[in-house]
Amino acid sequence: MEKVYEEIIRRIKEIYDYGEIITGTSNELKIVDYVVSEFREMGVDARKIPLKVMSWQPIEATIIVGKEEVEATLQPYSPTASIEGRLVHIRSLDRDLEKIQFYDAIALVELSTILDDYELQYYKLMEVGTRAIIFYDPYPNRRRRLVATGSLNYSYNPGKPLPIPILHVTREEGLRLVEKNNERIKITTKSRINHNAVGYNITAIIPGHSDKRIILSAHHDHWLAGVSDNIIGVALIIEATKHLLKEEIRNTLQIVSFTAEESGAPGFTPWYWAYGSRVFVREQEELGLIDNIIAVLNIDALARGTLNINATGIEYQALIKSIADKLDIEYKAGLDHPYYDSFSFSSKGIPSATINTLDSIIDIYHTDKDTVEVLESNIIHKAFTLTIETMRILLKKENPLKEYGYLTYARKIYEKLEQTPIELKIRGYRLLEATRKALSENKYEKLFNAYKIINRELIKPLFRGKYDEDSGGFETILIPHIEVIEDMNKIRKTISLLKDNRIADALKTLENIPPQRIIPGEEIILTESLSRTIHKIIQRNPELKENMLKVLEEELNAKASLLEHILRKVSSILDKATNTLIA
């Protein structure tokens, strides 16, 4: 394995020399030609597939304070601008926003260590009228790029441009700027946006003896240094292909490197990332090839720490976990995450996974410190071994669908439905028993298709709260629809506490009911609540407790009606999956 690691490092260094790879630029074409030539040298049929992308490129970003010039990193999708104003240090978005005067202020703020809060930070500052924003990093001595859009949602539809420039400076430069608080500064930014740029997905095929297709993927665009995100992914899939070529395979292997993972969706689309993979999936659907894809294994954000296996569905997750257990690889498991290209497939129901260490690289994420030195050789060894062994099972088995953990999935659903009304519990039981029967009769195609329905319809990303008020990222959830039951139980508890005049405890309970539950991308609001409004009213005016009790009782009635609708919907999906098994 030492030679494998050395070869991966060699490839990483070769790719690193191409510099920052922004989708739709000449640099992207260089890396695309490199990857295609590597596959062709192995004798693998490889080609580049063009697609229209929006390409944003930074040209200049300077901050002038007096006679001093501060080096800055321009943030995508900042516009070209020349701005003068008063530097205002914002220590807290909750307390300091009133310091912003729309005609004058340029905000200086520390970037949150929770990078998912970035959108909320800049959106709140834009809303109060700041002329520009300068973020300084929470970690020392690094430059970073994070995409900013003019919209605070995650729609797949075109959005709106960013109206003000956003810049990033190192922590050290930021703290020096703090000392210049209230001084006049000048910002100059230049960027180039090409709405008709061309990016390239790369695809290579190793044909098997069946039309069942397994995809091994990564993305080749990256911000700044980009070794863990995602030069390592490109190097690893090339090296894995070289090893898998030595195997006798039954099923077809398709290797794909995606463009526009970091940015590039046309028209300032708020869901700006993973665009190349979304286009690839759409093309597969249009060509009638999507049903042949039985698994996707994606490599992204890989460097150090503990391996994450983010996989949907649970049947596929169970397979990869069993392989990791046999290899004695330590891991954390979760559902496929919307941040990865694999989600473009799993959202269509296709079993898909990304091997990553994202939660261990936040300090270097999208920075100039994401270099080869951050890689831990043992983690790269483990990721490569897990990739090869998973691919071998999927590619060499006559029917790889037999390897999936369908019974594990059925039990998980049954457990999830234990605290729901009887009609859902019955359907969970029927699905469990139908799964047992289908397994005993070797009906693996039916099992695959049934759980594909569940993957597509009942596993969703979820944001708890309001985009313009609440921090945090998405979480992928199995049957998030039934969280309304949680809300109903908390409302009942609040009512009981208020009747006992335990106002402080009632307020704490209300705090744990999110005002909304949103499915990002689809932008569907699953549930809404007056919890936050009622909390404020009771906190400020305890004498209105009785009025709020009535409001809470009415909200409980509204939630009961919503639950009836949800039960019908979820029941219909479970029935459809069960009927697929017993047809």
CATH code linked to domain 59-190:
3.50.30.30
d(CA 171, CA 167): 13
- Cα dihedral 503→505→506→509 (10° resolution): 160
Judging by beta carbons within 10 Å of its beta carbon (0-12, 13-18, 19+), is residue 436 exposed, middle or buried? middle
Largest CA distance in the chain: 79
Where in the chain are the domains? 9-56+195-402, 59-190, 405-583
SS3 216: strand
Q: Which whole number is the average pLDDT over 522-528?
A: 95
Confidence check: pLDDT of 548 > 70 = yes
The residue type of 122 is Y
Query: Which percentage of the chain shows pLDDT scores above 70?
Result: 99
Q: How confident is the model at residue 102, as a pLDDT?
A: 62
Q: How far apart are CA 255 and CA 296, in angstroms?
A: 10
Which H or E run contains 473? none
Burial code of 218-251, b = ≥16 C-beta within 10 A, e = fewer? bbbbbbbbbbbbbbbbbbbbbbbbbebeeeebbb
99: left (phi over 0), alpha (psi -120 to 50) or beta: alpha
pLDDT score, position 404 = 97
CATH number for 9-56+195-402 (one of 3.20.20.100, 3.20.20.20, 3.30.200.20, 3.40.630.10): it is 3.40.630.10
Residue 94, pLDDT score:
77
Name residue, tokens 């709260």.
Answer: 465
Mean pLDDT on 398-404: 94
Please name every residue paired with 48 in a beta bridge, in sequence order, or none if there are none: 202
Name the 3-class secondary structure at 165. Answer: coil
State yes or no: pLDDT of 403 exceeds 80.
yes
As a whole number of Å, the CA-based R_g of the chain is 26
Cα 448 to Cα 139, 319, 349: the distances in Å are: 46, 13, 10
User: 154, 523 in Cβ contact below 8 A?
Assistant: yes
Q: What percent of the chain has pLDDT over 90?
A: 94
pTM of the predicted protein model: 0.96
CB 90 within 8 A of CB 108: yes
List residues bridging with 51 in a β-sheet: 199
Centroid of chain to Cα 563: 28
Look at residue 100 and tell me whether its pLDDT is greater than 80.
no
What tokens appear for 109 in the block?
């703020």
Segment among 40-54, 85-99, 238-252, 488-502 with least mean pLDDT: 85-99
The structure tokens listed for 314 are 């649970």
pLDDT per position as a tens digit, 107-162: 999 999 999 999 999 999 999 889 999 999 999 999 999 999 999 999 999 999 99
Q: What pLDDT, on the 0 to 100 scale, is given for residue 551?
A: 95
Asked if pLDDT for residue 67 goes beyond 90, the answer is no
For the residues 489-494, what does the mean pLDDT come to?
96
Distance separating alpha carbons of residues 229 and 106, to the nearest angstrom? 31
For residue 404, the tally of other CB atoms under 10 A from its CB is 24
The amino acid occupying position 410 is A
